[in-house]
Amino acid sequence: MKIGLVAPEKLMQEIFSFVGREFPDEEFIPFSYRSILDLPSLLSGQQNRADAFLFLGETARRFAAKSIVPAVPWVAIPRSSSALLRLLFRAAVAGRAMHIATDWPREDLFQLAFHEIGIPPEQYRLHFCPVHAYNEEILSLEADRMAELCRTGEADFCITIFYRIEKILSDRQIPVYVLQPSFEDIRAGIERLILSDQLRRSHDTPLACAAMRLSIPEDQYPAEHGYDLAEARLSAAHLIWQFARETEAACIERPPWGWLLFSTRSLMENATAHYHHLPLLARMRSTGPFTLSIGFGIGSSAEESKLHAERALDRAVLRGGDQAYLMGPGLSLPVPPAQGDRLTQQVPMLSIQEQFLPLAQLSGVSVRILTLLYRACRDTDRTCFTSAELADFAGVTPRTMNRILQKLMDRDLAREVGLQFTARTGRPSRLIELRFQPQNL
């Protein structure tokens, strides 16, 4: 998939390097800008270069859409409460009082963040300076207003979503922080894009949704230990994001203690050994005094799978938490299922699919690609292919497939066994044997 990455110039190199490491199978095309005002000229006539565009923030997407009609999907990465929590933590470490002037109008997320770190309303002040139009003069005026609040002592520092305002305030020695999406937010945005693209290409793909909720006894973290609670929550969130990576799921945070993960049914089943293996529950128990409840839902659409997942989550919570439940068409049972349950009878264990996750961790190749390569072997009753054949099976370019095969050969999961002449080129192509065998693990 070709993704146009639209981000500020000063962040592009770091973000581009991150997404290249995290998503080696996708192609990213950078569109960097110094000012949000540059976006119309930057993107004009460029939409044919990408399958979708990813913007670092809703403000940039909206501003560009005023001048250019999207011809491909345009997706904005939202600024999350987790990103705000990290920023507030940095300000607290710097000794700043929680008296803030900001142009980010999300008072609800500010209140949620302060609640999570245990700061009561009487200990913080918020001054909102929203920007209603985007031009240099208005941005300068809003920067003047925020600077005046700091000079008069009404605010101790500023939070902005505009790099232009950040530069103006920094030049005046006004303490200012830029609120930008975190790397977890960026990863989730890209995963949602990839999942949407896969669904557009295959409308009949069954979907799976995992609805998750954390709960904690109130006496475990009193208000004066708010920072400890926030740190423990970040550790728990990291485990959930890790599970999302294992299932190649799009992860959507539902503050303060919930998450939704969307993936295909086959990927979710492969990563959980058909819901028989759920190490996330054990990992969460070791993280802190949290109780994690998981509801898995299966459906033919995202809405249907989400509905089943939320109902399954309610069942898991009613059973006392620290449990998982599965619901779907004709299915309603706790997981891991007991021997003789309908799921055990309906979906037998497949040992080769249980190996996909360890293989992915060993080789650095995604579960999705390994699944497609395995299906190529299964459906053709072969183990030897040219890289061009495997590229067709996996839906990637031959160049990308050669990189994938090199990773597998480095781990003795594939090997070159000869040459084969094909009709595509006059030169012989390498013949690669795939070796997904238990002894390789």
Q: Is the pLDDT of residue 337 over 80?
A: no
Range of the domain at 27: 2-76
| Whole-number pLDDT of residue 132 | 66
- In this structure, is residue 197 part of a structural domain? no
Q: Is the pLDDT of residue 198 over 80?
A: no
Q: Is the pLDDT of residue 219 over 60?
A: no
Domain boundary among 334, 349, 364: 349
**The domain spanning residue 99 has which CATH number?**
3.40.50
Q: What are the phi and psi torsion angles at 173 (to 5°)?
A: 65, 30
Comparing 201-210, 213-222, 294-303, 403-412, which segment has the lowest mean pLDDT?
213-222
Report which of residues 441 and 271 the model is more confident about: 271
Segment 174-201 mean pLDDT: 78
Q: Is the pLDDT of residue 375 over 90?
A: no
- In this structure, is residue 158 part of a structural domain? yes
To the nearest whole percent, how much of the chain has pLDDT over 70?
85
Comparing 97-101, 410-414, 420-424, 431-435, which segment has the lowest mean pLDDT?
420-424
Residues 108 and 165 in one domain: yes
Q: Is the pLDDT of residue 312 over 90?
A: yes
The CA-CA-CA angle for residues 19, 20, 22, to 5°, reads 60
Comparing 260-274, 367-381, 419-433, which segment has the lowest mean pLDDT?
419-433
pLDDT in tens, 140-172: 888 999 999 999 999 999 998 888 888 899 999
Residue 121 belongs to what H/E stretch? none
Q: Got the DSSP string for 329-363? A: TTEEEEESPPTTSHHHHHS---HHHHTHHHHHHHH
- In this structure, is residue 198 part of a structural domain? no
**The domain spanning residue 224 has which CATH number?**
3.30.70.270
pLDDT band at 256 (very low <50, low <70, confident <90, very high): confident
Q: Is the pLDDT of residue 224 over 60?
A: no
pLDDT band at 352 (very low <50, low <70, confident <90, very high): very low
- In this structure, is residue 196 part of a structural domain? no
- In this structure, is residue 256 part of a structural domain? yes
Q: How many folded domains does the chain comprise? A: 4
CA dist 406 to 19, 364, 422, Å?
20, 11, 21
Residues 341 and 375 in one domain: no
**The domain spanning residue 25 has which CATH number?**
3.40.50.2300
Residues 215 and 306 in one domain: yes
Residues 342 and 208 in one domain: yes
- In this structure, is residue 143 part of a structural domain? yes
Q: Is the pLDDT of residue 424 over 90?
A: no
| Whole-number pLDDT of residue 199 | 58
Average pLDDT score, the chain: 80
| Whole-number pLDDT of residue 155 | 92
Q: What is the DSSP letter of 145?
A: H
Domain boundary among 349, 370, 398: 349
Segment 270-283 mean pLDDT: 80
Segment 182-203 mean pLDDT: 72
Segment 183-196 mean pLDDT: 78
pLDDT in tens, 35-72: 888 888 888 888 888 888 999 888 888 888 888 878 78
- In this structure, is residue 183 part of a structural domain? no
Which among 57, 7, 58 is positioned nearest to 28, based on CA atoms?
7
Residues 230 and 291 in one domain: yes
Q: Is the pLDDT of residue 193 over 60?
A: yes
Q: Which long-range contacts (CB under 8 A, 24 or more apart) does 123-127 make?
A: 123/98, 124/98, 124/99, 124/100, 125/98, 125/99, 125/100, 125/154, 125/155, 126/100, 126/102, 127/100, 127/101, 127/102, 127/154, 127/155
CA-based max dimension of the chain: 78
Residues 368 and 345 in one domain: no
Segment 101-127 mean pLDDT: 86
Residues 358 and 250 in one domain: no
Q: Is the pLDDT of residue 437 over 90?
A: no
Q: Is the pLDDT of residue 423 over 50?
A: no
pLDDT band at 205 (very low <50, low <70, confident <90, very high): low
